[in-house]
């Protein structure tokens, strides 16, 4: 009997069984992608994964997380059932994920809105409206955070412009409300975290 065979018998486990036990670790690399809410909860529990989330493509159904952050009762109730977390915690979970995944300083307009590159006009409007509801001062009293609404409006205008320029039939989308206000406010911000002071 070979040395390897003796070692396998001594441990009470054959080589085949040891490989079978190790297989799930390798199979995990090809499992189905995690949904946006699952990623958000993982980020909340392990903030160290934020860097990876910024680099990776957006998880599917990111609009679900946007709606939770905006206080949608249907999305929140479904998330409570799915995760076992209360609504207040889920609001924090969703907000943290959106800040990390959507609002990186170098993110393009589609990413800022949580959209895929081939999003249509209805999706653009839906994502824009829910993001603005989340960031509205009546719901969110954080002045720096509410300043992100400027980026949302800018991103929506840019994406709609690109869609219109593509000649698509779906390009007939209403222009974002508040563009004039956004243009005034964008002069006050280099980016959301650093208000720019102009000399009097």
Please tell me whether residues 17 and 56 are part of one structural domain. no
Read off the pLDDT of each residue in 177-188 and give the average, rounded to a whole number.
Answer: 49
Please tell me whether residues 26 and 38 are part of one structural domain. no
- Predicted TM-score (pTM) of this structure: 0.68
Q: How confident is the model at residue 76 (pLDDT cuts 50, 70, 90)?
A: very high
Please tell me whether residues 55 and 136 are part of one structural domain. yes
Please tell me whether residues 156 and 61 are part of one structural domain. yes
Please tell me whether residues 187 and 161 are part of one structural domain. yes
More confident residue, 101 or 196: 101
Establish how many alpha carbons lie within 13 A of residue 60's alpha carbon, considering only the half-sphere containing its beta carbon.
4
Q: What is the mean pLDDT of the chain?
A: 76
Check residue 103 and give its pLDDT.
93
Domain presence at residue 22: yes
For 116-166, write each residue's pLDDT tens digit.
989 999 999 999 999 999 998 877 777 777 789 999 999 999 999 988 877
Please tell me whether residues 58 and 83 are part of one structural domain. yes
In the chain, the DSSP E strands lie at 189-191, 194-195
Give the range of the structural domain holding residue 58, as residue numbers without chain letter.
Answer: 33-195
Distances (CA, A) of 183 to 28, 56, 155, 179: 47, 31, 12, 6
Domain presence at residue 200: no
Please tell me whether residues 38 and 25 are part of one structural domain. no
The CA distance from 40 to 97, in Å, is 5
Domain presence at residue 2: yes
Domain presence at residue 152: yes
Q: How confident is the model at residue 94 (pLDDT cuts 50, 70, 90)?
A: very high
Q: What is the number of domains present in the chain?
A: 2
């Amino acid at each position: 009997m070979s040395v390897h065979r003796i070692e396998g018998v001594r441990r009470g486990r054959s080589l085949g069984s040891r490989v079978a036990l190790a297989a799930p670790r390798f199979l995990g690399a090809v499992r189905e992608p995690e949904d946006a809410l699952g990623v958000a909860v993982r980020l909340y529990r392990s903030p160290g994964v934020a860097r990876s989330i910024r680099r990776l493509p957006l998880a599917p159904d990111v609009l679900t997380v946007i709606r939770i952050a905006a206080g949608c009762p249907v999305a929140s109730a479904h998330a409570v059932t799915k995760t076992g977390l209360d609504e207040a915690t889920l609001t924090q979970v969703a907000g943290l994920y959106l800040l990390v995944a959507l609002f990186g300083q170098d993110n393009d307009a589609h990413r800022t809105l949580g959209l895929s590159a081939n999003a249509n006009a209805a999706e653009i409007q839906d994502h824009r409206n829910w993001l603005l509801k989340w960031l509205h001062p009546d719901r969110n009293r954080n002045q720096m955070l509410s300043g992100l609404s400027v980026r949302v409006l800018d991103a929506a205008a840019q994406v709609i412009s690109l869609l219109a320029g593509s000649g698509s039939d779906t390009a007939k989308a209403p222009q974002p409300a508040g563009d004039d206000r956004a243009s005034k406010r964008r002069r006050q911000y280099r980016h959301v975290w650093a208000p720019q002071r102009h000399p009097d």
